[in-house]
Structure 1
Amino acid sequence: MAVTFLSTKGQIVIPKWIRDTLKLKSGTKFIVELEGDRIILKPVKENIADELYGKYRGVDLLGDLVREHQKELNWYDQRKR
C-alpha cells in the first residue's frame, strides 16, 4: 500500500510503481467514481488503434498465417491418404 497526498490544487500523485505497472503516461484520462467512502480511478482506454500502433512492428503476421495454413493443408492431405 502506498500513501499519497492531495495538493492545494486538488491533485494527487500516483506512485511510480503503479504508473509503471499500468503503463500510465502523462495526460492519461481517468474515469472517477465514488463508491461509499472510496474514490475509484479507472484509466480510459484510448483508441484501440493507438494502443496497438507499432506493437507488431517487425513481426511477419501474414507469413505466419500462410505457414499455419500450409501446415493445415499438409495435415489434411495426409489424412486423405
Structure 2
Amino acid sequence: MQTKVSARGQIAIPARIRKAHNLRKDSRIEWIDEGGRIILIPLPDDPIDALRGAYKGLLSTEDLLKEREQERLHE
C-alpha cells in the first residue's frame, strides 16, 4: 500500500489498516526511525490498562528475595 505526504506533512492511513488496528480520531501512534525505514506502532488508549496482567505469574519481590536467600545459603 502506498500513500502520499500532503503539503502540510500529513499522511492518510488506509481504511483497511485503520480498521484492523482500531485507529480512529485522536488515536496515538509511535513513530520509530530505524535506518531507512519508518515503523508506526499504534499505542493503547490507556497504557496503564494495557499493562494490566502483563506480569501475572511472575514472582513477587518478596518471593525473589526468599529465592536469593536460599541460593546464598546453598553456596
Moved over 6 A (4+): none
Give me the CA root mean square deviation. Answer: 1.4
Structure 2: which 5+ residue stretches go unaligned? 51-75
Q: Which has the higher helix share?
A: 1
Count of residue correspondences: 48
Number of the residue aligned with 1:28? 27
Higher normalized contact order (CA 8 Å, seq sep 6+, divided by chain length)? 2
The CA distance in 2 between the partners of 1:43 and 1:7, in whole Å, is: 21
Counterparts of 1:4 and 1:24, CA distance in 2:
17
**Between Structure 1 and Structure 2, whose CA radius of gyration is higher?**
1
Percent identity, please.
38
Gaps of 5+ in 1: 50-81
